[in-house]
Each structure stands twice: as C-alpha cells, then as structure tokens.
C-alpha cells in the first residue's frame, strides 16, 4: 500500500514537472523577439472541445502603437501649466476635456493586462457585434477617441457597426451636425438620437433595438478599447461595459 502511494506521488510529481516544462517553453517563446511573435500569430490549437482557437492579436498595430510619441501617448500623464488651469474647457467639464482635446484620437495605451493574456488563444469563429455607445453632452475628443479606439483595436470582421445614441444633448452644436459630418468617413458608425431626455437605460435600449449584430456590446462614451479587448468578451457571449475606462 505504502509502495503504491509512493508510486502515485512520483507520477504526480512527474506529471507536474512535464506541465511546468510546457509552460516555461510557452513563456520563453512569447517573451522572445517580434519575429517570434509573428510566427506565433499563425498558431492555432484545437481544444478537447473541438474548438479551433487562434491568436487574435494584431501585432502590426501593437508595433505601430509602440512607436508613437507625443501628448498622452503610451497613456502618459499630460502636465498642466497654470495658464492651462484657467482654461474654460478645463473648468466646465466633469473630467479633463482640456487635456483630452490635446491628445491624439488614435493615441497609444500601455498594455495593462495580466501577462498571461498575451498568450491566450480564442475561438476562431466568434460572433460579430454591434457596439452601442449612449452619450449625453459628451466631450468631442473623448467621444471620438472611444470610437477610434474601438475601430483601431478590434478585428474589423467582428464589428458589424458602432451605434452612437445621443440622449438629447443640449450643450453646443458639436454633437449634432459636426458629429454627423465627421462620421461620414466611418461607414460602420451610425448615429441615433432620442426625441427627449430618456436616461442611460432607455437610451441603451434604443440602440439595442436598432442593432444588427449577433452580440450587443454596450460601452461608455469616454473609454478606450485596449489591446485584444474584444475576442475574449465575444467568446463569453456576455453584454458588458467599461473595457478600459477613464471615468
Ligand atoms: Mn463612465
């Protein structure tokens, strides 16, 4: 009996050791140069469930982002001078739209995920989604940066459309004609408007009723999508908000 116990323990130790070696190999592959990363992108796995999984990372976009320099790039703080602090835009908004206006709409962000997320594969066949973004008197640059980051950091074939739903904004004109003009260059973006102030939930539902995608995704109007944010969420088939929020 004791001998059997020792044998069993020995086998468990060996099994764990093998698993550990596999993990170390994976890590060392991932941690190596970009050339390796490109090769890894083609890796697919078929799980015990028969599902083919692929690496959804867009390594070209990751490289482009890493090379960006300027205000707020790589998610760095934007230092304010005393003159900046008396600016009207700084005082009037709930968050710092003054700074937001001075940062690129396509700015880069640090990859703040757990290290293991860089190695994860997700199902090759994922449903497409309608991204619904309700807003009320949102700042111009924070709203546009939300849209830009979603389109820049999502595989195009997974995005059916981005639906902006205006809950009766009444400050200024930028969210009316200017927004419609701007979005003409983004054919996937549609703009809907409520006929009176409805509140967040009814505004979301208006967008949901118009959605054509297989999955509905709700986002705030002042957030930024980060690296490979979408495939894991579509794999789960849940509705959600706030992939990487600044508010
Ligand atoms: Mn928010």
CATH number assigned to the domain comprising residue 102:
3.90.550.10
Read off the pLDDT band of 11 (50, 70, 90): low
Q: What number of other Cβ atoms are within 10 A of residue 30's Cβ?
A: 14
In the chain, the number of structural domains is: 1
pLDDT band with cut points at 50, 70 and 90 for residue 31: very low
- What's the domain range around 165? 51-236
Q: Indicate whether 27 belongs to any domain.
A: no
Q: Per-residue pLDDT for 80 more than 80? A: no
Q: Per-residue pLDDT averaged across 35-53, rounded?
A: 73
Average pLDDT over residues 200-216: 97
Q: Which contiguous run of DSSP H or E holds residue 53?
A: strand 52-54
Within a domain: 42: no
Q: How buried is 61 (Cβ within 10 angstroms: 0-12 exposed, 13-18 middle, 19+ buried)?
A: middle
CA 128 – ligand 1 centroid, Å:
24
Average pLDDT of the chain to the nearest whole number: 82
Q: How far is the CA of 108 from the centre of ligand 1 (A)?
A: 20
Measured in angstroms, how far is the CA atom of residue 36 from the centroid of ligand 1? 38
| Cα of 136 from ligand 1 centre, angstroms | 11
For residue 213, is it within any domain?
A: yes
Does residue 6 fall inside a structural domain? no
- Let me know if residue 64 belongs to a domain: yes
Using the mean position of ligand 1's atoms as its centre, give its distance from the Cα of residue 122 in Å: 28
* 30 part of a folded domain: no
Asked whether residue 183 is assigned to any structural domain, the reply reads: yes
CA 59 – ligand 1 centroid, Å: 29
Is 44 within the bounds of a domain?
no
Q: What is the pLDDT of residue 130?
A: 98
Residue 222 pLDDT: 94
CA of 247 to the centre of ligand 1 (A): 5
Rounded to the nearest angstrom, the distance between the alpha carbon of 182 and the centre of ligand 1 is 23
Q: Could you tell me the distance, in angstroms and rounded to a whole number, from the CA of residue 219 to the centre of ligand 1?
A: 9
Calculate how far, in angstroms, residue 65's C-alpha sits from the geometric centre of ligand 1: 24
For helices 34-41 and 59-66, the axis angle rounded to 10 degrees is 150
């Amino acid at each position: 009996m004791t001998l059997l116990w020792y044998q069993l323990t020995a086998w468990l130790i060996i099994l764990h050791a093998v698993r550990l070696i596999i993990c170390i190999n994976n890590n060392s592959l991932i941690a190596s140069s970009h050339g390796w990363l490109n090769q890894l992108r083609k890796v697919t796995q078929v799980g015990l469930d028969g599902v083919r999984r692929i690496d959804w990372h867009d390594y070209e976009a990751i490289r482009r982002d890493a090379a960006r320099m300027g205000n707020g790039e790589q998610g760095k703080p934007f230092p304010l001078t005393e003159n900046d602090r008396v600016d009207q835009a700084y005082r009037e908004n709930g968050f710092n739209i003054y700074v937001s206006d001075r940062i690129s709409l396509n700015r880069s962000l640090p990859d703040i995920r757990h290290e293991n997320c860089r190695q994860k594969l997700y199902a090759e066949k994922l449903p497409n989604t309608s991204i619904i973004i309700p807003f009320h008197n949102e700042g111009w640059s924070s709203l546009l940066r939300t849209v830009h980051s979603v389109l820049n950091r999502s595989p195009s074939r997974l995005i059916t459309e981005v639906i902006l739903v205006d809950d009766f904004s009444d400050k200024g004109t930028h969210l009316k004609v200017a927004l419609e003009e701007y979005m003409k260059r983004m054919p996937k973006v549609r703009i809907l408007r409520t006929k009176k102030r409805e509140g967040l939930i009814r505004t979301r539902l208006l967008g949901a009723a118009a959605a054509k995608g297989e999955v509905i995704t709700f986002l705030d109007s002042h957030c930024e999508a980060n690296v490979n944010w979408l495939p894991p969420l579509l794999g789960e088939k849940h509705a959600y908000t706030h992939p990487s929020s600044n508010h």
